[in-house]
Amino acid sequence: MKKYQVKISTSLDGLREANDLIRIDARGKGTFDIIVSKINLLKSIDYPIDGFSITITDANFSLVDEKVIDFAKSLGVKDVSMDFDLVRSINIPVEDCVHKIISLRRYAHKNGLNFYGTWETPYRILISNSWLSNPHAFCPAMEGKTIEFNVDGTLKTCGHTNTIVGRYENFDECFLPGSKYLEIISSRLPGNNDFCKGCEIEGCCAGQCHVTLESSKKDPSLVNRTCQLMKMATKALIREYLQSSM
Ligand code: SF4
Ligand code: SF4
């Protein structure tokens, strides 16, 4: 991997107690020690990782705090991402999620680390993109940037979705006018998606991650919660931006 510069990323869901509550191996054993030992191994062969991703659930929410940023700094990494498990974090009030995001983000920035997550995407799009210059979307699959080839011959919009848009034997047809892929992208553009019409962040969110929308078919409350998180996080990040520019 070092020879071919293959990027390595890892999850680490907080310090030992927080991580080992939710990230366990097949025998139910916590994975903190093994993940950290491999992070250090990569560092020792002069191929360090850039950072790690934290997943938050109801179980580890209260245990993830500034100490994880201190730990990231001590490991010598520069990026920490944090996201909320769509299904397993439903008991945390959205206000508390946003408060955790903002306080850890502030602390990470003060310590020279990047701190991000899916919750940042509408804000990032809002401050760096305009439909006047470039078409854009929250979801790379909806920008036509990703496609997954499956062993059964199907093509999906990305590696996480269930949405089949064609078969590899007819690859070119996937991109023709009237194809399923183009139809989905078109239906997800701002103004075309009934679910998002009138939402205050419609232009920069435009239906968020396609997987979330797929899950919403099974449980609409999940997507409503994610929408609330996106809207509240975007507003809080705008406030942070305005305060830092004053
Ligand atoms: S569907 Fe979700 S996971 Fe897949 S490309 Fe879009 S944003 Fe990423
Ligand atoms: S927050 Fe929800 S309703 Fe608003 S644009 Fe995003 S997906 Fe649509």
pLDDT value at residue 97: 97
Q: Is 158 in the pocket of ligand 1 (CB under 6 A)?
A: yes
Tell me the whole-structure pTM to 2 decimals.
0.90
Separation of CA 189 and ligand 2 centre (Å): 12
Please name the residue that has the structure tokens 């419609």.
202
Ligand nearest to the CA of 94: 2
pLDDT value at residue 60: 97
Q: To test ligand 2's pocket by mutation, which of 194, 210, 227, 229 has the most ligand atoms within 8 angstroms of CB? A: 227
Least confident piece of the model among 54-58, 69-73, 220-224: 220-224
Residue 86 banded pLDDT, cuts 50, 70, 90? confident
DSSP character string of 142-183:
GGT---EE-TTSEEESSTT---EEEEGGGGGGGGSTT-HHHH
pLDDT value at residue 219: 80
**pLDDT surpasses 90 at 137:** no
Separation of CA 161 and ligand 1 centre (Å): 7
Can you tell me whether residue 82 is helix, strand or coil?
Answer: strand
What's the pLDDT tens digit per position in 156-209? 999 989 899 999 999 999 989 999 999 999 998 888 988 899 999 999 998 899
Contact status, residue 134 vs residue 242, Cβ threshold 8 Å: no
**pLDDT surpasses 90 at 131:** no
